[in-house]
Amino acid sequence: MSPLKATVHRADAHKTKGSFVVRRLQASPPEKDQSRLLALPPELRNKIYELVFAGVTVVFRTGILTGTVETRSMPTRSSYDRRPRTDEAREVPEWRAITNPQPTKNMRVLQCLLLVNRQLHHEATSIMYGSCKFFFHPTNLVHRFLENAGKANLHNITTMRLEHVTKAYGSTSQDKHMKEKADRGLDNICVRLAQNLPKLTTLELGIQLKELPDHIVPHFGEPDRTFTVKSYVSRPWFQALSNFSKLKKLENGKVTIRTLSNSEMISMFYCDLNIVDALPPFNPALGPSRERQHEEIQERWGHYYLSLHQSIGDAVRDTILRKPEHEVWAAHVQKLEQYRAFCWAPQDPITATLESVEYKMFKLQYDERYRYL
pLDDT digit string (tens) for 318-362? Answer: 999 999 988 898 888 888 888 888 888 888 888 888 888 888 887
pLDDT at 281 over 80: no
Query: What's the mean pLDDT in 43-64?
Result: 83
pLDDT of residue 107: 62
**Is residue 161 very low, low, confident or very high in pLDDT (cuts 50, 70, 90)?**
very high
**Is residue 293 very low, low, confident or very high in pLDDT (cuts 50, 70, 90)?**
confident
Max avg pLDDT among 134-138, 196-200, 229-233, 261-265: 196-200
pLDDT of residue 196: 95
pLDDT at 303 over 70: yes
pLDDT at 200 over 60: yes
**Is residue 13 very low, low, confident or very high in pLDDT (cuts 50, 70, 90)?**
very low
pLDDT of residue 130: 92
pLDDT of residue 106: 57
Percent of the chain with pLDDT over 90: 25
Query: What's the mean pLDDT in 179-196?
Result: 94
Return the minimum-mean-pLDDT range out of 108-117, 170-179, 348-357: 108-117
**Is residue 227 very low, low, confident or very high in pLDDT (cuts 50, 70, 90)?**
low
pLDDT of residue 168: 81
pLDDT of residue 265: 78
Query: What's the mean pLDDT in 94-119?
Result: 60
Question: Cα 111–112–118 angle (5° rounding)?
Answer: 100
**Is residue 363 very low, low, confident or very high in pLDDT (cuts 50, 70, 90)?**
confident
- The pLDDT mean for the chain works out to 75
Query: What's the mean pLDDT in 265-292?
Result: 70
pLDDT at 315 over 80: yes
Comparison of pLDDT for 27 and 333, the residue scoring more: 333
pLDDT at 254 over 50: yes
pLDDT at 74 over 50: no
**Is residue 223 very low, low, confident or very high in pLDDT (cuts 50, 70, 90)?**
low
pLDDT of residue 194: 96
pLDDT of residue 367: 62
pLDDT at 92 over 50: no
Comparison of pLDDT for 194 and 260, the residue scoring more: 194
